[in-house]
Amino acid sequence: MGDLNEIFDLERKTLHDVVQRLDMSRRDFLQFCSTLAVAMGLPSGAEAAIAKAIETAKRPSVIWLHFQECTGCSESLLRAEHPTLDKLILDVISLDYHETLMAAAGHQAEAARKDAMKANKGKYVLVVEGAIPVKENGIYCKIGGQTAIDMVKECAADAAAVIAIGSCASWGGMPSTGPNPSGSTGLGEVLGKPVVTIPGCPPNPYNFLATVVHFLTFGKLPEVDKLGRPKFAYSRLIHENCERRAHFDAGRFAIEFGDSGHRQGYCLYKLGCKGPETYANCPTLGFGDAGENNWPVGCGHPCIGCTEKGVGFTKPIHQVSRMINVAPPLQYPRIVEEQGQGATFASAAALTALAAAAAGAAAMLTRNLGLSHAAEEAQRAKDASKAKEKEGV
């Protein structure tokens, strides 16, 4: 794994060089390595291996493609602070092609992509942002005269690793919402093989960064679930780590936006929060390095389930989520309780009549029970008298 003595050797030359390149203090750099190790769920000592890899390993070439998307995934990456984007693309990875961030354009941009692929054949990391339209041979998305289908297949052929970033690339996302006229599809379906997916709209940039650093450190991608999502980030339900979970367990829910419960931070389950059926680390990691509560539920908006196919952009935002591992008690009221009418004059009269009839029936029943008991006693006495007469004879 890694040598802890080495990571705390603060005077070694490679460490001195890397902190100068990253413009970070040694303490901040080592803290960054430790944070990545914890985020990926690695055992003690992994921070040393991460530090060593960042110091000495060759920066991996990254080819970043854009298709049907809003560039929100790249925008999210721009908000990363540890490290900042400039340090990431200049010192941790070599971002050789990214249509939004690169200076080149047109033929020069496409030439840069092909040159990077040729120079790093079998070693570069392919990152795909956005869904891929497949209807009518993919004519709905073209770059440099080449369809998204052809471009992604060409780039994936010699890639060492393929990563789909964002819900659109992972499983189709918002572009695939019905009726889906362009046939928007996830990367894995187009390539016909599993790929690492980092869903979210947008995903947390540190989930992507940790995945790349894992590849840089260990020469392989992290362990993933059946949907290709890294387990270190997508193995637990949002509901399990939500700061509002205690209110759920206590039966305290916001019923309307802005009501007393909503202002007091009550659970948003009844407002349609999809946290109980969505796997992601949003509540534990947050977004944008902006302090606590820097994620949708923390800010007062229900989770929309953007990391889950069949939930995000499919289920209405107000629809109650499907509970996967815990269900609220049956006595919890529904979101919309049926409102009954007050007692009318006729219904009150009918109820009174029924009550009187019930009382009369009870009285008759009591009387009949009494008569029945008296008759039984008289019959017993008569039988006893006859028995004595027989004995006298």
Nearest to 248 by CA among 265, 222, 266: 266
| Per-residue pLDDT, 4 | 43
Q: Which comes out higher in pLDDT, residue 10 or 379?
A: 379
Is 155 annotated to bind ligand?
no
DSSP character string of 36-80: HHHHTTPPTTHHHHHHHHHHHSPPPEEEEEE-BS-SHHHHHHHT-
Nearest-angstrom CA–CA distance, 308 and 167: 8
Nearest-angstrom CA–CA distance, 119 and 96: 11
Nearest-angstrom CA–CA distance, 206 and 233: 10
Backbone angles phi, psi at 267, to 5 degrees: -60, 145
Ramachandran class of 55: left when φ > 0, alpha when ψ lies in -120 to 50, beta otherwise: alpha
First CA to last CA across the chain, in angstroms? 112
Quick check: 135 pLDDT over 80? yes
Q: Which comes out higher in pLDDT, residue 77 or 376?
A: 77
Burial of 59 (0-12, 13-18, 19+ CB in 10 A): middle
- Considering only CA atoms, give the Rg of the chain: 34
- Is 3.40.50.700 the CATH classification of the domain at 59-234? yes
Nearest to 69 by CA among 150, 143, 11: 143
Nearest to 121 by CA among 160, 164, 63, 162: 160
| Per-residue pLDDT, 6 | 45
pLDDT tens-digit profile of 156-215? 999 999 999 999 999 999 999 989 999 999 999 999 988 999 999 999 888 988 888 888
DSSP character string of 258-318: TSHHHHTT-B-GGGT--GGG-B--HHHH-STT--TT-STGGGT-----TTSTTTTTTS-TT
Quick check: 9 pLDDT over 90? no
Is 239 annotated to bind ligand?
yes
Is 242 annotated to bind ligand?
yes
In the numeric block, which tokens belong to residue 362? 């009870």
In the numeric block, which tokens belong to residue 275? 């946290």
Nearest-angstrom CA–CA distance, 125 and 65: 11
- Tokens 């990571």 correspond to 7
Backbone angles phi, psi at 247, to 5 degrees: -70, -35
Q: Which comes out higher in pLDDT, residue 256 or 294?
A: 256
Domain ranges of the chain: 1-56, 59-234, 236-336
Is 73 annotated to bind ligand?
yes
Segment 41-70 shows an average pLDDT of 75
User: Could you tell me the CA-to-CA distances from 329 to 272, 275, 309, 319, 332 in Å, in that order?
Assistant: 17, 18, 27, 19, 6
| Structural contact between residues 130 and 166, judged by C-beta atoms closer than 8 angstroms | yes
- Tokens 């000592």 correspond to 45
Nearest-angstrom CA–CA distance, 305 and 135: 27
SS3 label, residue 163: strand
pLDDT tens-digit profile of 340-387? 555 555 555 655 665 565 556 555 545 554 555 555 666 777 777 777
| Per-residue pLDDT, 89 | 65
pLDDT tens-digit profile of 281-290? 999 888 876 6
- Is 4.10.480.10 the CATH classification of the domain at 236-336? yes
Is 70 annotated to bind ligand?
yes
Question: Where are the strands (E) in the chain, listed by range?
Answer: 61-66, 94-98, 125-129, 132-133, 142-143, 146-147, 161-165, 184-185, 196-198
Banded pLDDT at 2 (limits 50, 70, 90): very low
Least confident of 11-15, 47-51, 90-94, 300-304: 11-15
Least confident of 288-292, 319-323, 386-390: 288-292
